[in-house]
Homo-oligomer: A and B are copies of this chain.
């Protein structure tokens, strides 16, 4: 049996339509939906009902034409996908839509479909028979942005049962086009932390997950939203893959000079005071960490490096203060924070740089340049993954045990 399967796989490099084992519905499908369906070799079969359509495609790791059957159902089986969570969408006669057969996930500024390709290390973010913390939805009014904002707050197991205990805090941010729900919904932050804490690998901590989109009344929030993409929907107007810049000429620059400053102001004026008033947190820089993924990593370095009096632990997951292509000069880059390595190393107990191995060498180069300049830092690489959530789940799993030591 086993050798027959291997033979099938070897002999059949291009015939994705054939079966090699049975597929299983993705864990993110709506209840009872048989498709998308993931094969043991990580090929994925899709099925969509659009009986009168001319052309239906799946956008996942490329664009895949579907084939219409006599029953009006469109199907396609696509090549093996990388393990982990992927956003994807359908294109139905030129219209970009979510697949109605999956739960939706907020990314690239809208609720697109999601699929989970089982990862060999999925155990670290699975619900297990260990004490569980909880993720709470918390609304607060921001004086800086003059509106009600929502954040999610992870409190560790037994937070409610130990009303005298205080905990250190990690402020944890999502990426461009996502929101404050990303880390719990796509990231499984609570299971990662519950499992780490149960194994005594991470200290119990509070994690505050806020929304990067912070603008004052009248300020332009085009940087954070998909406004121009949605407002001008046209055949060319499909949301760009996460982490890429919108096409030139159609949008303002993705990172204007003053980006992130309102978030920083809001964080110190509204978010941190609210968190420290509402939850039993330990205060002071040695009990405060900040991290984020992609644009949230850039925000972390922007806020954190300018306020080392506030944070002793910083993490950038696929995002930091280093440009992807520019040379790093420790004397001047990143606002000159790294000019005095001895002082920096004394202040900063952890500078963490994580990346997916498929994201290119920029972060590794940055880490090596920092090391060469005498700046202590931790480099973590997620094997085989790109600018996606499995990279960031793994980053958190490596990062959290290093905090508050």
Contact = CB atoms under 8 A, between A and B. Distances in A.
B231 A34 contact: yes
Contacts of A129: 141
A227 B33 CA distance: 6
Contacts of A34: 230-231
B134 A137 contact: yes
Given A32-B226, A129-B141, A49 B233 contact: yes
B31 A93 contact: no
A73 B93 CA distance: 12
A111 to B, nearest CB: 4
Interface stretch (A100-108, A300-308, A352-360): A100-108
Nearest to A230: B33
Interface in A109-123: 109-112
A92 B50 contact: yes
Contacts of A221: 31-32
Contact of A234 (B51, B163, B278): B51
Interface in A33-91: 33-34, 47-56, 71-73, 90
B32 A231 contact: yes
Contact of A98 (B104, B138, B160, B233): B104
A140 interface: yes
Given A32-B226, A34-B231, A55-B52, A104 B111 contact: yes
Given A32-B227, A72-B234, A129-B141, 7 more contacts: A30-B225, A31-B224, A52-B54, A93-B93, A97-B100, A100-B112, A135-B136
Interface of A: 30-34, 47-56, 71-73, 90, 92-98, 100-104, 106, 109-112, 127, 129, 132, 134-141, 148, 153, 160, 163, 184, 190, 213, 221-222, 224-228, 230-231, 233-235, 237, 278-280
